[in-house]
Amino acid sequence: MRRRRVVVLGATGSIGQSARKVARDIPERMEIVGMSAHSNREKLEAAGREFPGARLCLSGDGREEELVELATMPEADMVLVAIVGTGGLRPALAAIEAGKDLAVASKEILVMAGEAVMEAARRKGVQVLPVDSEHNAIFQCLQGQDPASVSRLILTASGGPFRQLPAAALGGVTVEQALKHPTWNMGPKITIDSATLFNKGLEMIEARWLFSVEMAKVEVVVHPQSVIHSMVEFIDRSMLAQLSVSDMCFPIQYAVTWPERVPNSLRPLDLAALGRLEFEEPRYADFPALDLARWAGSEGGTLPAVLNAANEVAVARFLEGRCAFPQIWEVVEKVMREHAPVAHPTLDAILWADRWARERAAQ
Ligand code: NDP
Ligand code: MG
């Protein structure tokens, strides 16, 4: 049994908090040796008191170099990237170069630079373990399977708080309504992404890179209970699914203990109490995020980075009360249409596209 020595980037966030809970739950398998926050010094120091030996890093005020140092510290063998947005990209690439396995919650970095991250990991012979619950579910379903036997990856989506809201009412939704997620308790950015379905769109692109499948094989089904975390269909038309209570501790633990499983104190799933599992087709026309993501993921190159960056800017504006909910989709689509994608981009080309899209979206 291997004890993983883990650096948690974004230790004060929602995922960071779950990661600390897992480390307390299975201390014989997970030791936190480093933690970062961006600006929340008090919360970071409190987290530091939970794990007294851990090195701490406050990465705000342009101290990005320190984040790279933390991610490459010799005492660690795994880095959990749980930073919101794209700030985790450089430290993640540095961790790979330093030979660390990566556990990735920050889907934005795989959307933006999935090809580069996966290529670097292959070259260095390190693992990229998915923490996003859907991808962790797919990863579990794929264990022991021949990749050539996969016919479809089916991501489940809760549908968000506006799953049943008439299209005409979407223009009037408030920030407060959008921040009320029906099944998961998460940070504000991903919660808005769940309401627009950009979260599922980002996850379609994330799946494409993580599991190296073409975009056409990645599908979405709405499943309001969020109990099936995702499914894989094989060429014989058999499907495998992974189920658990909706708690990010499950995928975090699996990423840390993989390829093994260990007991924990998490709540078991009571299927009879649950009663039913439902499925429905996503409302593609009313929530254009899924089609925009399929376009970006099929085109590839710098287009996914542009989608991601424009979405980040639009979400920030919406949270500030400076744009209406449907404008998030409009801004992303407009910026994507203006972009001339570069195929197989270098990291510099990706970062350039990211900056360009942020400027255009802000305008
Ligand atoms: P939170 O907003 O709760 O936490 C974000 C963390 O990142 C905090 O520790 C924050 O520090 C730090 N941070 C913020 N901005 C920066 C920056 N520019 N540079 C470095 N660190 C920064 O986010 P979540 O935990 O919800 O999400 C984290 C990532 O995980 C996202 O990419 C999200 O998509 C993904 N994810 C989250 C899920 C969830 O259940 N929450 C589920 C699946 C994926 P500080 O506290 O100082 O601001
Ligand atoms: Mg997810």
Judge if the beta carbon of residue 190 lies within 6 A of ligand 1. yes
**Cα–Cα distance measured from residue 230 to residue 184, given in angstroms and rounded to the nearest whole number:** 15
Judge if the beta carbon of residue 200 lies within 6 A of ligand 1. no
- pLDDT < 70 positions in the chain: none
Q: DSSP labels for 28-72? A: TTEEEEEEEESS-HHHHHHHHHHSTT-EEEE-TTT-HHHHHHHHT
Do domains 4-131+250-268 and 139-226+279-362 share one topology? The answer is no
**Cα–Cα distance measured from residue 44 to residue 58, given in angstroms and rounded to the nearest whole number:** 8
Shortest-distance Cα residue to atom 23 of ligand 1: 187
What is the pairing mode between strands 228-234 and 239-243? Answer: antiparallel
pLDDT of residue 241: 98
- Token pair 């480093």: residue: 34
Q: Which ligand is nearest to the CA of 133?
A: 2
CA neighbor of 98 nearest in space, from 77, 128, 67: 77
CA neighbor of 111 nearest in space, from 190, 184, 182: 190
CA dihedral 163, 167, 168, 169 (to 10 degrees): 20
Domain 4-131+250-268 grouped into CATH 3.30.750.200: no
Q: Are 80 and 6 in contact (CB under 8 A)?
A: yes
Shortest-distance Cα residue to atom 32 of ligand 1: 106
Give the ligand 1 atom nearest the CA of 202: 34
Judge if the beta carbon of residue 83 lies within 6 A of ligand 1. yes
pLDDT of residue 254: 98
List the CATH code of the domain at 139-226+279-362: 1.10.1740.10
User: What is the longest distance spanned by two Cα atoms in the chain?
Assistant: 55
pLDDT of residue 348: 95
**Cα–Cα distance measured from residue 224 to residue 279, given in angstroms and rounded to the nearest whole number:** 7
**Cα–Cα distance measured from residue 189 to residue 191, given in angstroms and rounded to the nearest whole number:** 5
CA quadruple 83, 171, 184, 137: dihedral sign: negative
pLDDT digits (tens, 9 = 90+) for 118-156: 999 999 999 999 999 999 999 999 999 999 999 999 999
213 sits in the region (left: phi over 0; alpha: psi -120 to 50; else beta) called: beta
Residues in the chain, total? 363
Parse the chain into domains and list their residue ranges: 4-131+250-268, 139-226+279-362
pLDDT of residue 61: 82
* Ligand 1 centroid, distance to 152 Cα (angstroms): 29
Judge if the beta carbon of residue 78 lies within 6 A of ligand 1. no
152: phi then psi, degrees, rounded to nearest 5: -145, 145
Judge if the beta carbon of residue 39 lies within 6 A of ligand 1. yes
Q: Give the pTM.
A: 0.97
pLDDT of residue 275: 96
pLDDT of residue 208: 97
pLDDT of residue 197: 98
**Cα–Cα distance measured from residue 121 to residue 142, given in angstroms and rounded to the nearest whole number:** 19
pLDDT of residue 1: 73
CA neighbor of 5 nearest in space, from 123, 95, 67: 95
Give the ligand 1 atom nearest the CA of 58: 47
Judge if the beta carbon of residue 91 lies within 6 A of ligand 1. no
